[in-house]
Amino acid sequence: MSSSEDTPLIPNNNGSEKLKKTSLFGFTPKPIMMIMIVVCDRMLGQDYAKFNNNTSTAIKPPKFTSCSSNTQVSGEATWWKMVFQLASSIPGMLTLPLIGLISDRYGRKLAFLFPAFGSLIQFLITIFVLVKKTSLWFLFLANFFHGLLGSLMVLEAISFAYIVDVTTSSPTNLFGQVEALMFLSFMFGPVLGGALVRLGNGVLLPYVVAAVISLFELFYIILILPESIHSKKSSKQQPQKPEQNSLLNEDEQTSTPSNVNKITLYNLCKNAKVELKSNLKVLLGRERRQYFTALKFKWDSLDLGQYILIIAVTRVIYMVVVLPVLIKVGNKYYADDELKNVKYQLNLSRCAILFHVISYIFNAFAANSYQFYLIGLVDGFQSIAMPLLRGLLSSSTSPKDQGKLFASVALFQQIVGIFTPIIFSNLFRLTNKEFPGAIFLASSGFFLLGFLLSLGIDSLKLRSFKEENIIVADELVNEFVEVME
């Protein structure tokens, strides 16, 4: 079960009424777990006659408990999900840089259209498969088009670039609010999807609803969504102030290249590399909770949706309440030392990642649903890491290149996303009979690696620069465009 994020457009502080009244909402319930187990059950021959004798336009699932308790069915389901994720990730890796470049050169609105079209195509092909009961390879085709047009990665990257366009305040708190609103979408998506599965006695209805919502989202982008790329004044070449490198010591100032703040492919990739190192939690955290809970606790789609709903509320509280308080503490105690404030925020991110490592270890040995819920509630603290890191990256990058920045970060996510389903899906297939919690132990190991790598990040490279202190050389921008093209 999953849903696309809720992406609000943060009001511009310059008083633009048009932007203040605008919001972009994407919400698509997709009962992935249910459809996979149902279709795999059909492939393995269980209740096959029921499918052939069913004249309804919807596939009626067999008894869910019998499917979820069958380790062969669960293993086959994870294999197909791995195939679908690869079908989406590999083409997405190729198109992400291009769409990021398009967003900076031609506007965010055009870039938003790619994932919107991709989602609509994916849902329409899936509906065709459900109605005609054709081969699962058609779903491979659906995911291929979804990835080729950007998928959720592009929607997320362009959304964060849009936020930077329309606000002049510090982005960290805003990113936290947006992450919280994304979780609100994830809260209601699984619950709604699971309820629609039961209401329609099959998995067709949720996809029809998702397709209709995606169609409305597409019309909204075309007809209502304002362009944001001109909502801020363009960065102009201004003399570099002497205090710009005040955070560096004397030796570092003499050894720093003169074009350290200019926009180059190296600097963009360096920023993305920082996030890759310090937040493997996000890159490798595509959890397999749906199969684990179905196999061990006999949860169905609605049960999982209710769990996600409660956990998401907890994470929203961490991001909307706890994160702003922690940022205020840093601003209060390190108001005169920006470098220490940056180090403070990096250390908060590291603590959140380490917290996640410990939580995953406990998840692996959870004996009942109560323990699983309790661990999830405590684990909500890890959700503050991503907004902190996004804020640090965004504040150290030119406003003209926010699209490229977030696209490059998403590209790293997509690359790792290619290997993630291969590792975890096959691990679950190998261990689901003896120890299904092995996927959580493996995840904790990856997150621990991310924590250790984050210790090597140089916080000096993440210091914040004011917009007027950033020199953007046209020659270097043109060079970057040529490389990207």
Q: Please, are residues 44 and 195 in contact by the beta-carbon 8 Å criterion?
A: no
Mean pLDDT (the chain) is 68
User: Does 96 or 461 have the greater pLDDT score?
Assistant: 96
Residue of 176, 143, 185 lying closest to 25 (CA atoms): 185
Q: What is the CA radius of gyration of the chain?
A: 23
Least confident of 29-38, 364-373, 417-426: 29-38
Mean pLDDT of 140-156: 82
Q: How far apart are CA 68 and CA 70, in angstroms?
A: 5
Domain 6-229+236-241+258-484: which CATH number of 1.10.3470.10, 1.20.1250.20, 3.40.50.1220, 3.90.1150.10: 1.20.1250.20
Residue of 287, 238, 285 lying closest to 450 (CA atoms): 285
How does pLDDT run across 224-261, given as a tens digit for each residue?
888 877 644 444 344 443 333 333 333 333 333 333 33
- Joined together, the tokens standing for residue 463 give 């210091």
Residue of 484, 67, 459 lying closest to 295 (CA atoms): 67
CB contact set of 368 (below 8 Å; sequence gap of 6+): 297
Q: Does the model's pTM come out above 0.85?
A: no
Confidence at residue 468, expressed as pLDDT on a 0 to 100 scale? 37
Least confident of 42-56, 263-277, 373-387: 263-277
Q: Which of 63-77, 99-113, 394-408 has the highest mean pLDDT?
A: 99-113
What letter represents residue 200's amino acid? G
How does pLDDT run across 396-428, given as a tens digit for each residue?
777 677 777 777 777 776 676 677 767 777 787
